[in-house]
Amino acid sequence: MKKLLKERLQKLAGIIEAEDERFNQETKTVAGLANQFLTISKGLRGGDYKGVQSGEINEIDDLINMILQAAEEGNITTILIRVQGMLSKSIKGTSTLPGEEDEFDVEDETI
């Protein structure tokens, strides 16, 4: 399912092969996550993320801090999967995959 979702998002978002690794990797350790942050940091400093606005930067920063704090306090995998689903739907042109019609529908739910 994860592979299918990744392929569908790549097709719809026009993700190039070099960026493919960001979504294809499974990070299982704190050191692996730290390496991901280093890669992202280099990309941010190198101008790889064009069009990100200051308000978005502030919200991304807050979200990362909240996620890490909540993960320290307990398992938040279910919440992260729901957030991932909502974000994947927001990618331009993304349609619902078969079998996911109502799984991530947030219009009727309060988080």
Global model pTM greater than 0.85? no
pLDDT score at 104: 45
| Ranges of the chain with pLDDT below 50 | 16-20, 94-111
pLDDT score at 109: 47
pLDDT score at 91: 74
**Distances in whole angstroms, Cα of residue 29 to Cα of each of 8, 36, 40, 87, 107:** 27, 11, 17, 23, 34
pLDDT score at 13: 64
Buried b (16+ CB within 10 A) or exposed e, 68-91: eeeeeeeebeeeeebbebeebeee
pLDDT score at 3: 66
